[in-house]
Structure formats: structure tokens, C-alpha cells
């Protein structure tokens, strides 16, 4: 379940986010995700800005004690790689080993400009950051003279207590190659049906794994779907407005083509919607067992 950041056009308070997360956990969902952005700027629309992702996850950890926690996805440009790895180990400990470290290269140039962050060479910078993060989380001491930063005997102390899974959101050839080389899980989004676009994404991931010498079956596949209120998303190719039975059918279709997890971004922030998603999950699980 992806937690959206707006209700009726305004940013949610943490009390609202906490309530939504608690209901999601109670509905039987498996994970809770937040988005990582500093600013949304799409003129002529007014600027919007969500709350900071990592702080929100840390605050949610004791509130929802069962579900996995993650960001879909952290922008590697916003935080130095070593700091991101250190934060990941800390939050994983705080949550009792429930973190999924979702990371990506970022895409929204206006927020980079607004906050003084470099937008050039995003994939090159991400490649260096991903390697450093992955090696640190594996318990390595990192010495690296990269094009963007130099690392001298960088190490995480205290060390990670487990292998924290890294999820990368990617679709281009170079990003998929990095995913195949370093990630435990992969995300593609947003979809409202199993179509040729989605099948192509899956085939591209398989090809990237083969090129990297990796068994494609060893990477966990996750897909993001956008769930509209009933009757409001029928014409959206990247979303659906299905009820519980039809949503369960969609989960079945996604599993049949190889997806392990579905991350639902519900545009309606109501307990009833969460209960419907939980019902669809239960139907899907019953069929799969």
C-alpha cells in the first residue's frame, strides 16, 4: 500500500497518515510505502510539497508493528550514499527488521533546481551511489575513488543485523543493468492492466539479468498500480477503478506473468477503500493457496 500525500487537495497531517497506515495494517496488507519528493512544480498548477519520506517512515515504525516499510522510491540525489546506508541500518533496527530500501535516480527537475541539487549525470551518479549503498549494507568496508565522491574505509558501525533488501525502480537499459547487478527487488509503475507495455518491461528486466550473468528468477518483481475511486479511472491506462473481485482478478493476472508483489497507490484515502484492497488480497491469496 502506497500512502499518498494529499487528501482533498491538501497535504495530509501525520495524524491522518498514521490512521491510514493503521487501517491498512489492520486490513491485512503486507507493506506500507511513502513517496520521496521535496517539491512538485507543474506550472500553471500551484506548487505542492509532501512531508519528508524518511522521517515519516521512522515515525510510522512503532505505529504499525507488523508490515514492511519502504519508500517508492528514495531519490539517491537527495542524500549522500553513505548516509542513506547508515539511515537504512538504523531504521531497519528501529522497525525490527522490516525495511525495504527502495531507491531510484530521481526525475523531477524542478525540485532539483529549487533545492540546489545537480540534475546532470543522474544515472552515472546513481550507479556510484547504488554500488556504495549495496556494498556497505553487505557489511563491506568501502574504498572507492568515484567520479562524484571518494570513500576511505567507509563502514557501517554497528553493522547491519541482516541483509536489508534493496529495491530499484527502473525501466531504461542502463538502469535495468544496475538493477540486475545490485538489487534484490525491482519495481515498475504505474499500470492498470497487463498489456504489451508491461510485458516489455518484464522482458527487458530478464534480458538485463542475463547480460549481468544473473538468474532472472533471483530478483523479486514488484509492480505499482494506481487505484481510483469507483467510476473515476476507467479511461486511465495507468490506473484502475476495480472493486474487490475485479482487483483480485488483476492480482491473479499480475502473479501469472511473474510479479511477486503489487503496490497499490489508492487515490481515495478512506478506510472502506483499504478494506476493499484487503478483501481483494484475501481472495487472491485463497486462489493461490
- In a 13 Å sphere around the CA of 115, the CA atoms on its Cβ side amount to 15
Whole-prediction pTM: 0.94
- Please identify every residue annotated as catalytic: 37, 109
- Of 272, 286, 263, the C-alpha closest to 29 is 263
Cβ-contact 187, 152 below 8 angstroms:
no
* CA 224 remoteness from chain centre: 8
* Rounded CA separation 287/258 (Å): 16
pLDDT at 289: 84
- Rg (C-alpha) for the chain, rounded Å, is 19
- One pLDDT digit (tens) per residue for the chain, 289 residues: 666 555 566 788 999 999 999 999 999 999 999 999 999 999 999 999 999 999 999 999 999 999 999 999 999 999 999 999 999 999 999 999 999 999 999 999 999 999 999 999 999 999 999 999 999 999 999 999 999 999 999 999 999 999 999 999 999 999 999 999 999 999 999 999 999 999 999 999 999 999 999 999 999 999 999 998 877 765 666 788 888 999 999 999 999 999 999 999 998 888 999 999 999 999 999 998 8
What is the DSSP track for 157-195? SSPPSS-PPEEEE--SHHHHHHHHHH-SEEEEEEESS--
pLDDT at 265: 94
Q: Pull the grid cell for residue 97.
A: 527488521
Task: Please state, as a whole number, how many other Cβ atoms lie within 10 Å of the Cβ of residue 114.
Answer: 14
Q: Pull the grid cell for residue 121.
A: 549525470
pLDDT at 96: 98
CB-based contacts of 195, cutoff 8 Å, min separation 6: 237
49 three-state secondary structure: coil
> How many angstroms separate the Cα of 11 from the Cα of each of 28, 49, 188?
26, 8, 25
pLDDT at 127: 98
Q: Pull the grid cell for residue 276.
A: 476493499
Amino acid at each position: 500500500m502506497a500512502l499518498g500525500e494529499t487528501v482533498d487537495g491538501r497535504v495530509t497531517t501525520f495524524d491522518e497518515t498514521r490512521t491510514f497506515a493503521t487501517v491498512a495494517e489492520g486490513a491485512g496488507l503486507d507493506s506500507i510505502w511513502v513517496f520521496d519528493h521535496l517539491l512538485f512544480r507543474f506550472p500553471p498548477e500551484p506548487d505542492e510539497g509532501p512531508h519528508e519520506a524518511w522521517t515519516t517512515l521512522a515515525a510510522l515504525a512503532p505505529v504499525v508493528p507488523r508490515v514492511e516499510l519502504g519508500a517508492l522510491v528514495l531519490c539517491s540525489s537527495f542524500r549522500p550514499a553513505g548516509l542513506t546506508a547508515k539511515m537504512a541500518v538504523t531504521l531497519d533496527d528501529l522497525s525490527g527488521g522490516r525495511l525495504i530500501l527502495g531507491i531510484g535516480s530521481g526525475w523531477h527537475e524542478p525540485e532539483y533546481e529549487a533545492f540546489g541539487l545537480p540534475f546532470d549525470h543522474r544515472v552515472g551518479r546513481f550507479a556510484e551511489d547504488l554500488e556504495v549503498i549495496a556494498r556497505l549494507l553487505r557489511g563491506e568496508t568501502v574504498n572507492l575513488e568515484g567520479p562524484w565522491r571518494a570513500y576511505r574505509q567507509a563502514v557501517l558501525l554497528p553493522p547491519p543485523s541482516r541483509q536489508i533488501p534493496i529495491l530499484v525502480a527502473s525501466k531504461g537499459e542502463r538502469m535495468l543493468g544496475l538493477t540486475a547487478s545490485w538489487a534484490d527487488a525491482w519495481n515498475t509503475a504505474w499500470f492498470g492492466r497487463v498489456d504489451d507495455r508491461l510485458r516489455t518491461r518484464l522482458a527487458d528486466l530478464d534480458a538485463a539479468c542475463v547480460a549481468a550473468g544473473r538468474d532472472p528468477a533471483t530478483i523479486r518483481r514488484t509492480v505499482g498500480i494506481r487505484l481510483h475511486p469507483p467510476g473515476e479511472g476507467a479511461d486511465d491506462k495507468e490506473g484502475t477503478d476495480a472493486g474487490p473481485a475485479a482487483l483480485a482478478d488483476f492480482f491473479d493476472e499480475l502473479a501469472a506473468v511473474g510479479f511477486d508483489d503489487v503496490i497499490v497507490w489508492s487515490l481515495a484515502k478512506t478506510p472502506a477503500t483499504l478494506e476493499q484492497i484487503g478483501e481483494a488480497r484475501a481472495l487472491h491469496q485463497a486462489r493461490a493457496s
